[in-house]
A and B are shown apart, each in its own frame.
Chain A
Amino acid sequence: MSIPSDQPDQPDQPDQPDEPVTGPTEPMSSGDPLEAGPERPQQEPPPPAAATAAAGAPRRLTRSSSDRVLGGVAGGLGRYFDIDPIIFRIGFVVLTIAGGAGVLAYLAAWLVVPADPIGGEVPAGRNRVLTWIGGGVLLIAAGVALGDGLFFIGPPLFGFGLLALLGVALWRAAENRGEDGNDVLRRAGLAILLIVISGVGFVAVAVGAAVGGGAVIAGLVIAIGVALCVAAFVGGARWLVLPALIIAIPLGFVAAAGIDVDGGVGERDYRPTDLAELRDGYELGIGELRVDLRDVDLPAGRTPLELSMGIGSVRVLVPEDVCVASDVRVGAGYARVFDRDSAGLDVDWRQSPTETEGAKRLVIDGNIGVGELQVVHNVTEFHDGDGPDRTFNDGFGSDPFGTDNALDRNAGCMEVA
């Protein structure tokens, strides 16, 4: 039966001289934040013989307790690689400035790299490092919720952060702890297998959610939560947190992006020649959807057009004499209507030019999960992202009249709101 520990933190020990750590440094409270097994025997202190045999033990990466600014990560890296720690500190700062990845990488290393024992015994009860990191993540969550969180959630951080986490996990799994080589290989293989299973799970959940199984998957997340609550009274089952997150994160991403892959996969070209051929809407699950309305003589007044894309590109060509009003939602990607554009996450694109009596008005209602929507007059105006003759505003709605886009305007409107 599991026994919760309620031992208080041990008082901080004074810093010790910076010496290389060569002895067995089994972590006692850092790392392994969500310990899987409900039962685990008490960690026994290493026998004196092991300590005296330190010189023969393999070198291990630990956080420095003597050369530290925050958690001793850079100090430990410098000691391990025999490089001035300032190099690593500069690296963390540069990565932080270049998108915030340095913060996550540092926190990840702080979490998984054990502290060296020179500075004193590691508390056996509470995990102070995990507590601080948890508090930090909560602060970041608050910052994301209350302000412009893109600094923390931008692609650089997620890319570098994920790679850093995977790298550190593999590093620790393959670390030689004085075991037989086969044990190390077996542990590393299990870690790789777990990562692969997690990746497959991510993709499977994302696909399942995109094809309409989101409600069932959300129900599964709730069921795991209930199981965790019940298990809390019979010893706990913290390992359930990992499958819960593996399920919830991709489902949340698909839901937030609004990805719906109904409509098939591939390339679709629609070029109606008269109003009778014009549909009320066009949709595609994954791929490229092109709708050319230049041959359609739209009537005066409003003509609605719904466009839906799960993952991919929607490109619309409209006649010069048509005024386009648009209400477009892009979960992650790019939206452009003539000379105005916006890109990023949660792009809400609304344009409602003043209506003029007798004018032809095309009202576009677009829903793009991940990808782009472009509305232009001529094929040459489409932006492929690498066009040599122009660049586009790719900010979050900033500079909506980007002068580089000014070649193509909503000319069918008498007045642009």
Chain B
Amino acid sequence: MTPRDFDPASLVAGLLVCGLGVLLLLDQVDAIDLRFGYFFPAILGTVGAIMLAVGLTGRRR
């Protein structure tokens, strides 16, 4: 692997998607009670952070 192979935006997106999935899984196993008051900030934060990461790292070539 060379440094040119590394896409930090994909890594950020992957970590955020994993976090979102864990949040949803915790609700499914009744470890937490997901509410709209938590879900909307979580999904907006995920989308916003991914957009920020993509914007800062630029387009793939």
Contact = CB atoms under 8 A, between A and B. Distances in A.
Interface of A: 1-7, 29, 32-35, 37-40, 42, 124-142, 144-145, 149, 153, 214-215, 217-238, 240-241, 244-245, 248-249, 251-253, 255-257, 331-332, 345-346
A133 B1 CA distance: 32
Contacts of B50: 34, 134, 241
Given A33-B54, A38-B60, A2 B7 contact: yes
Nearest to B16: A225
Residues of A contacting B: mostly: helix
A248 B42 CA distance: 11
B16 A215 contact: no
Given A2-B61, A241-B17, A141 B41 contact: yes
B8 A4 contact: yes
Contact of B58 (A7, A42, A217): A7
Contacts of B34: 252, 255-256
Interface in B4-47: 4-11, 13-22, 24-25, 27-29, 34-47
Contacts of A235: 5, 7, 60
A1 B5 contact: yes
Contact of B48 (A140, A214, A222): A140
Nearest to B20: A248
A221 B54 contact: no
Interface centre among A4, A38, A229 (most CB of B within 10 A): A4
Contacts of A141: 40-42, 44-45, 48
Contact of A221 (B10, B17, B58, B60): B17
B40 A238 contact: no
26 contacts: A1-B4, A5-B58, A5-B61, A29-B58, A32-B59, A39-B60, A126-B58, A133-B51, A137-B51, A144-B44, A218-B24, A225-B16, A229-B18, A232-B8, A232-B10, A232-B14, A234-B5, A235-B5, A235-B7, A237-B10, A241-B13, A252-B42, A252-B43, A253-B39, A255-B34, A256-B34
A231 B45 CA distance: 22
Nearest first, the 3 closest Cβ-Cβ pairs linking A and B are A236-B7, A228-B14, A137-B48
A29 B38 CA distance: 33
